[in-house]
A and B are shown apart, each in its own frame.
Chain A
């Protein structure tokens, strides 16, 4: 069953196209950022992370871009596949806390059309 809000922004892309999912974060003190993928009925799955001393990091078919000036994070997925359909969350880790709590964005639903 669904595990996220009913009114998520949705990105619909054609299979094989590139996808770009955006996220605005709130805390200028955050120094670590993560993208998670959540499929229906499952827990968030780690995709890629980036630290504040970088502005780009690449993984397999995914790239994360960080713009600290405007507090913006994006996730690019190359050659999007049906298996990429899920809700994607960005999360930030504020530096000024004793632990390691994550603050999550509201999520974006990615729908891949075959």
Chain B
């Protein structure tokens, strides 16, 4: 158990809908990262937050947004869902924000868009 928690574990929804994925980092970690894992794209970095502020952005679609709250938990919002958004979404956390800081991953949320 990495200490990173994610809810829900599974999510099934329809195209055009909006969902929110939630992540709680390990105790003491200030950075939260979101990654998407799909069959054709592998594990891809989406976005990083550090102590409430956006720190780095990857291949995140405009339909997706994230935030980190004062208690350091984070939410990833996915809107206008398409079939291709079906994937595993992982959250990771680390103590700091700089390069070389080990990231620990949560168990993931499996999103299925029908």
Interface residues of A (CB under 8 A from B): 1, 3-6, 31-32, 34, 36, 42-46, 49, 51, 89, 91, 93-95, 97-107
Contacts and interface: CB of A to CB of B under 8 A. Distances in A.
B97 A93 contact: no
A95 B101 CA distance: 12
B108 A3 contact: yes
A45 B105 contact: yes
Interface of B: 2, 4, 31, 33, 35, 37, 39-40, 42-45, 48, 50, 55-56, 58, 88, 90, 94, 96-108, 110
A13 B98 CA distance: 37
Contact of A99 (B39, B88, B97, B106): B97
Contacts, number: 86
26 contacts: A3-B108, A4-B37, A4-B39, A5-B39, A32-B99, A32-B100, A42-B107, A43-B2, A43-B90, A46-B2, A46-B102, A46-B103, A46-B105, A93-B100, A98-B56, A99-B48, A99-B56, A99-B97, A100-B94, A100-B99, A100-B103, A101-B56, A102-B33, A102-B35, A102-B45, A104-B44
